[in-house]
Structure 1
């Protein structure tokens, strides 16, 4: 039996790798998002797809996953890695700044959605306990699908991305209370609800304190030990221990696994091991998250969908309409911008994977009948399947609202409340290079460009670039200079750059300012104006030419890079000392 089980596990692993290595790239070539691609692959290669035909054609068993339940633990790891990496991108300071969105928009969206969905369920004939449980189950959204879509589209740090993440964080906090309520509504439930809630609150608080204690006092020494004695292999093992360990602590207290992983990432993001951890986990996260989406597809009850398709479609429409309306209102109130509210609401409108857990608990406890659970699960699964489409619709509608009517006379939206972003002044070839790297690292930025034609071209390509003179104080304030992490000036107009540096320095005396200079003389002027770091083009041109010369002489690329890196450090040190000496 053990040997047969191993054969099934190996065969299922091969089927998954076949889907991830061949099917998904083919679907991506057809412009189908990877999230939807994995869900479709799960439907096709699962027991409700080709697996249902194995009795007639046994050879199809080699092309299907025989035991989807065995893949569930590995799929859950993908969700944990996703939340862990999201935590790495944030900080406790940023999270505290998001508290208004988390508890304001999140609380309003979840509570009103649950009430309205529950009322509709009660009006169509369900019992009050069943309607309440269904309302709570469908009010939540899919953290895994939404955040993966935002990361794929490089929108995780955008206003809509932060708004969506805030609402999803509040929904994760609701996991424990909803499961407690599901147990209380069960026919076999005996403990008092108030006592269960107090016990859960105490357990949750104790778990959070334990994670924060470990993160503050033990995490950095533990990673330093792994990096010093074991290198990358031990680092990966320590990272996995951190993610899974934090998730187990929160799960044992009745909170969600994802919340523990998120907190672990939040703490590790404050250390010097952040970037190495991101690189090490990315391949694991992508593959295991793909497995998670395949299990979602395999869990869809297609026979029920087809048998009761009018009810399923009507239920889907009602679900989307209710959650869309509530999310738009909630996000609009707490963000103040319709385009952001629309983009976030279309991401949050579909149901999430947690609906399956709640409905399973309700069905086991007799709160909902098996038929009711099957229908609601079908509606939830279908809504999750169309999340990528909803995301695209939200983006299109948001862009229609994010036009000249919402912008100031200078063409820039009001980003005065934005925190931790980078202001890029000048969006030519150099500015675009900086923006691409920041976007790849999921760092938010606001770009300013004084040429209207270039602004139009860049905005059509999807860049967040606005028409505005960065030397004007009011433009910089709208770009969020008070909360900006730094400024990067890439213009080649010497006079304009110097004026921008002086204006920025008067507003933010301590903000780092990185500037592009034409030559050494220009660099001295910029240091005198208040720039922190100046990149003279003549130095970089000389270094690139020297690098190519060494390679033509037969130096290998590694040796050439080392020589050039040493020379670059020397040149910049001399240039900085000379510029500052002449400017003082």
Structure 2
């Protein structure tokens, strides 16, 4: 037991350091990736609390494997086929062009062309772990620049195989190296075998495992599939991450997809964090100190060259400026596969250990600068991302002016248009307008926060303005502007939450509704009927909750946000004797402004109603009768 104590102590140090650093960096807005990296540097090269950086890095590579498996689960074969142009277009061009340019630059500083080729293509590869983790944290995996970035990273993972295979040919002392058809056939056969097993065996396997009802067995099966496919691809000469990705794609259509994702996700997060800590532990502080000037010059220069080349290639493939800029900023760093490639190149004598250490230091520093580069890319494209259209208001002006045409506004528009009421719809999203036009809607481009836009859209002709925007700050600015400049128009407003609803009432809107309250009530009612409660009883329960919510909101208008807490049901009700329920009073009318006597009277009425409102009980309404099967 004494021999294992140092191992347990290192694990505790890694866990503690990673938790503290990730929480701190996330809190200050720098992201968990940079936090894990900083924790590794502090615990390893600086304080020397953990010395086995390479071992931690190897274990942490499983995090990349699990990450690619989860991405594969979300990426069905049809969607992968749809990305073929980005994968074999932008991805292929990026590896070839960037590798040749960086290789030519490396050849200027060394005489060996073999070493220059390895350095050029090794630095051309970006970090799959960093890139995908940053996209996932920002929720941008399914955006245009997220899909393009993923396509480039996917092709780079594919490119690792031929790059590793070509090293023996470039080795200066290699004898008898040649084309090995058996090895190539084994690699192709492994891919075919994995596809066939995934296509015909995985779903039956999980169906059998699921019948056991044991969650740990399902978890073990998920780990078996991921690690087994990863090892098979590694044995065939591919990366482990590629094997896991293929397995994920093959299971994307499976009915067990969500169960698999839920089982793998905790391992993915923990091991990916361990990978970034391992990168920090592996930093060669002595080498950085010795070659600090070269590293400080070469790293930003490398990132600028990679970003510029990738931006040009993305634009040439038809991507927008914003997409190309975001992709190039995200993938400007060198990647973890460079560690593998440069270590293998050193082993076969292509270049020295000192050169490999310098290159690894450049890769690590470029990874550390990735969050900053990504942030700069966001700043550079913030204005250009907001695509604009020509503000043309010909034909605008109707009884109702709707501002905002997101999912909430679309349903409201359906109700109004179905009743024969003409609606002028205003929205500031060019993409949303373009998509809505495909369905036959006429939407005007413009911001509801500008007085001249509201006038051009016909607000002076409108009897009612429906503010359906989905951001609280935007809604408040629109309401304040309309109340100030057009006080006679009726304002019906979508509110974000309870506090926002109260603030809108204080602004004097004619009607407001929280965006989720009615859908939640309907959902709750359907849940009751699904549990066997009679439909009419479920409706009365929902109506009781709705009435008490309205009463509480009225009370909060007068007494503040925390009033009426005793009117909420916070635990299962206790059955009471069967008595006839008391009729809940109807909601009071809105309070007029600057009317102190009326407010005092209303407060008294609200207090009396508040005492009368009782907690709901099934016995209050009717006997509970389960629905027949």
Cα distance in 1 for residues equivalent to 2:315 and 2:434: 29
Which secondary structure state, in structure 2, belongs to the residue aligned with residue 174 of structure 1?
helix
Partners of 2:66 and 2:226 within 8 A in 1: yes
Cα distance in 1 for residues equivalent to 2:521 and 2:41: 58
Q: Offset of 1:6 from its aligned partner?
A: 2.3
Cα distance in 2 for residues equivalent to 1:469 and 1:373: 51
What per-residue deviation string (whole Å, max 9, x for no partner) do you get for residues 219-258 of structure 1?
0111111111143211111110010011011111101111
Q: 2:226 maps to what in 1?
A: 243
Partners of 1:451 and 1:467 within 8 A in 2: no
Greater CA radius of gyration, 1 or 2?
2
Cα distance in 1 for residues equivalent to 2:384 and 2:325: 9
Q: Offset of 1:199 from its aligned partner?
A: 4.5
Cα distance in 1 for residues equivalent to 2:216 and 2:82: 36
Distance 1:409 1:300, change over 3 A: same
1:409 maps to 2:428: no
Q: Offset of 1:313 from its aligned partner?
A: 1.7
Distance 1:241 1:410, change over 3 A: farther
Partners of 1:223 and 1:273 within 8 A in 2: yes
Cα distance in 2 for residues equivalent to 1:212 and 1:476: 45
Partners of 1:410 and 1:468 within 8 A in 2: no
Which secondary structure state, in structure 1, belongs to the residue aligned with residue 263 of structure 2?
helix
Structure 1 ranges of 4+ moved more than 6 A: 474-478, 535-538, 547-550
Q: TM-score under structure 1 normalisation? A: 0.71
Q: Offset of 1:470 from its aligned partner?
A: 6.7
Q: Offset of 1:367 from its aligned partner?
A: 0.7
1:26 maps to 2:7: no
1:222 maps to 2:205: yes
- Alignment equivalent of 2:14, drawn from 13, 16, 33: 16
- Alignment equivalent of 1:300, drawn from 283, 291, 295: 283
Q: How does 1:35-74 map to 2 (within 5 A)?
A: 35-46=33-44, 48-51=45-48, 64-74=49-59
Distance 1:182 1:536, change over 3 A: closer
1:234 maps to 2:232: no
**RMSD of equivalent CA atoms:** 3.3
Q: Offset of 1:268 from its aligned partner?
A: 1.4
Cα distance in 2 for residues equivalent to 1:349 and 1:141: 7
Partners of 1:335 and 1:341 within 8 A in 2: no
Which secondary structure state, in structure 1, belongs to the residue aligned with residue 317 of structure 2?
helix
What per-residue deviation string (whole Å, max 9, x for no partner) do you get for residues 7-30 of structure 1?
232111111111233332123222
Number of residue pairs aligned between Structure 1 and Structure 2:
450
For structure 1, which runs of at least 5 residues remain unmatched after alignment? Answer: 52-63, 412-423, 432-448, 456-463, 479-492, 498-515, 517-534, 561-566, 571-584
Q: How does 1:242-281 map to 2 (within 5 A)?
A: 242-281=225-264
Partners of 2:168 and 2:177 within 8 A in 1: no
1:364 maps to 2:367: no
What per-residue deviation string (whole Å, max 9, x for no partner) do you get for residues 15-56 of structure 1?
11112333321232222210000000000001x1101xxxxx
- Could you say which structure has the higher helix fraction? 1
Q: TM-score under structure 2 normalisation? A: 0.66
Q: 1:473 maps to what in 2?
A: 438
Distance 1:544 1:9, change over 3 A: farther
Q: 1:349 maps to what in 2?
A: 332
Cα distance in 1 for residues equivalent to 2:225 and 2:301: 41
- Alignment equivalent of 2:165, drawn from 170, 177, 180: 180
Partners of 1:328 and 1:341 within 8 A in 2: yes
Partners of 2:168 and 2:348 within 8 A in 1: yes
Distance 1:537 1:38, change over 3 A: closer
What per-residue deviation string (whole Å, max 9, x for no partner) do you get for residues 136-167 of structure 1?
11000000110000000000110011000000
Greater relative contact order (Cα < 8 A, sep 6+)? 1
Q: Offset of 1:549 from its aligned partner?
A: 6.7
Q: 2:573 maps to what in 1?
A: 553
